Amino acid sequence: MEKTVHVDLGDRSYDVVIGPGLLEQVGERVTPFLTRQRVVVVSDENVAGLHLETLRTGFASAGIEMEILALPAGEATKGWPQFSRTVEWLLEQKVERGDIVVAFGGGVIGDLVGFAAAVLRRGVRFVQIPTSLLAQVDSSVGGKTGINAPQGKNLIGAFHQPSLVLADTNVLGSLTQRDFLAGYGEVVKYGMLGDAGFFQWLEQNGPALAAGDMATRVEAVTRSVQMKADIVSRDETEQGDRALLNLGHTFCHALEAATGYSDRLLHGEGVAIGCALAFELSARMGLCSQEDPSRVRAHLKAMGMKTDLGDISGELPDATTLVELMAQDKKVVAGRLNFILARGIGEAFVTADVPPEAVLAVLQDALER
């Protein structure tokens, strides 16, 4: 059942290994990258509580010692205080340039630890062991690392590719339903942005995936990672095509900032709502048919996901404030925001040609629904 996707980036190339039971084999898998029999692992308290002993045994079976730092779980961790704590801990551990730092957790841990590895002694290698669905299909691959700033999402960071990604699909079994579905927001994004056949496959197989069928999980993670690997190999630092992976994210990041990076809105939930809004905007601009946003929303709803601004608990700012929050987006060029829109499901494209009043109107209507 095991699959390997190769991310082709010249001397920064690496494998993403996907399948059940990889934690138990972690020692033998990581050994080729080590210069000494020791790793430092950064995780979060939830993941450490559930899976750390399996990881420790996996390393010990290859004679590898492991030191561990467990950070608080959740998006609020992805900021300066826990970042500087992590860098200082890594220095206290006397991590050498030749060592491997292991990020063991969801996207929050992967992004923060990857960025710590990027700046530690001007760059040490790291291995991603993603434990959430979101991290397995998206954040562990492609080398975008970083933390949030008060001014906006992921505004401080670096491109730093991992040396290896081990996505053990067994660990997905301990995710809460909410965290699993948040990860599904990024899975379905791949279908919407570039593979109508995958979207259709998800309409049929999404329920089996959510129910825990292992072959379906391996297939969904592998197809997602393959698509991301292909895009990242073409455009590592987002000069063009990579922005397609940002479908739904301009809306999502503004909503995450507006909800204070709290558990009112998880990243993947914001991606699902953002994709629904991007398709709505595309239809209103006459780019795709009105059936496309309806089909997107119908599938998200069938999976039990958030699709509307009204699904977010508590008050939201008005549409003008949300548009102002979008101004910090990394896709702004010469003061003009680039959007990812779609000509249909699986046919996304990048454009700067979006009237601001159309964005405002979509948000105003969405806030009133």
Ligand X SMILES: NC(=O)c1ccc[n+]([C@@H]2O[C@H](COP(=O)([O-])OP(=O)(O)OC[C@H]3O[C@@H](n4cnc5c(N)ncnc54)[C@H](O)[C@@H]3O)[C@@H](O)[C@H]2O)c1
Ligand Y SMILES: O=C(O)C(=O)C[C@@H](O)[C@H](O)[C@H](O)COP(=O)(O)O
Residues that constitute the known binding site: 107-111, 131-132, 144, 153, 186, 249, 267
- Angle among Cα 84, 85, 91 to the nearest 5 degrees reads 90
**Which of these is catalytic: 246, 299, 306, 330?**
246
- Chain residues 167-186 in contact with ligand Y, contact rule CB under 6 A: 186
Helix-helix angle 196-211:214-234, to 10 degrees = 140
Exposure string for 172-200, b = 16+ CB within 10 A, e = fewer: beebeeebbbbbbbbbbbbbbbbbeebbe
Residue 108 sits in the site that holds ligand X (CB under 6 A):
yes
**Which of these is catalytic: 29, 51, 249, 297?**
249
Look at the alpha carbons of 156, 273, 239, 10 in this order and tell me if their dihedral is positive or negative: positive
Q: Select from ligand X, ligand Y, none the partner in contact with residue 131, using the beta carbon and a kind-dependent cut-off of 5 to 8 Å.
A: ligand X
Residue 242 sits in the site that holds ligand Y (CB under 6 A):
yes
* Tokens matching residue 222: 């592998």
CA distance 222 to 293: 26
Instruction: Confirm whether 249 is a catalytic residue.
Output: yes
One-character DSSP codes across 143-203: -EEEEEETTEEEEEEEE---SEEEEEGGGGGGS-HHHHHHHHHHHHHHHHHH-HHHHHHHH
Residue with tokens 């039971």: 21
- Chain residues 308-347 in contact with ligand Y, contact rule CB under 6 A: 330
Residue 142 sits in the site that holds ligand X (CB under 6 A):
yes
* Tokens matching residue 336: 């003009």
Q: Select from ligand Y, ligand X, none the partner in contact with residue 330, using the beta carbon and a kind-dependent cut-off of 5 to 8 Å.
A: ligand Y
**Which of these is catalytic: 238, 256, 269, 280?**
238
Instruction: Confirm whether 75 is a catalytic residue.
Output: no
Total number of residues binding ligand X (CB under 6 A)? 33
Binding mask 253-292 for ligand X (x = CB under 6 A): -------------xxx------------------------
The count of other CB atoms within 10 Å of the CB of residue 254 is: 26
In sequence order, the β-bridge partners of residue 349 are 341
In sequence order, the β-bridge partners of residue 4 are 17
* Tokens matching residue 220: 């969904």
Instruction: Confirm whether 267 is a catalytic residue.
Output: yes
Q: Measured from the CB atom, is 56 or 249 closer to ligand Y?
A: 249
Least separation, in Å, of the C-beta of 327 and ligand X?
Answer: 19
- Contact range with ligand Y by CB under 6 A, out of 6-14, 244-252, 283-291, 357-365: 244-252
Name residue 75's amino acid. Answer: E
Residue 175 sits in the site that holds ligand X (CB under 6 A):
yes
CA distance 171 to 105: 10
Q: Measured from the CB atom, is 134 or 362 closer to ligand Y?
A: 134
Q: Select from ligand Y, ligand X, none the partner in contact with residue 44, using the beta carbon and a kind-dependent cut-off of 5 to 8 Å.
A: ligand X
- Chain residues 35-64 in contact with ligand X, contact rule CB under 6 A: 44, 46-47, 50
CA distances 317 to 86, 173, 252, Å, are 33, 36, 14
Known binding residues for Zn(2+) = 186, 249, 267
Residue 142 sits in the site that holds ligand Y (CB under 6 A):
yes
* Contacts (Cβ under 8 Å, ≥6 apart) of 258: 316, 317, 321, 322, 325
Residues designated catalytic: 122, 144, 186, 228, 238, 242, 246, 249, 253, 267
Interacting residues with ligand X (CB under 6 A)? 44, 46-47, 50, 73-75, 78, 105-109, 111, 131-132, 134-135, 138-139, 142, 144, 154, 171, 174-175, 179, 182-183, 186, 266-268
Interacting residues with ligand Y (CB under 6 A)? 138, 142, 144, 153-154, 186, 238, 242, 245-246, 249, 330
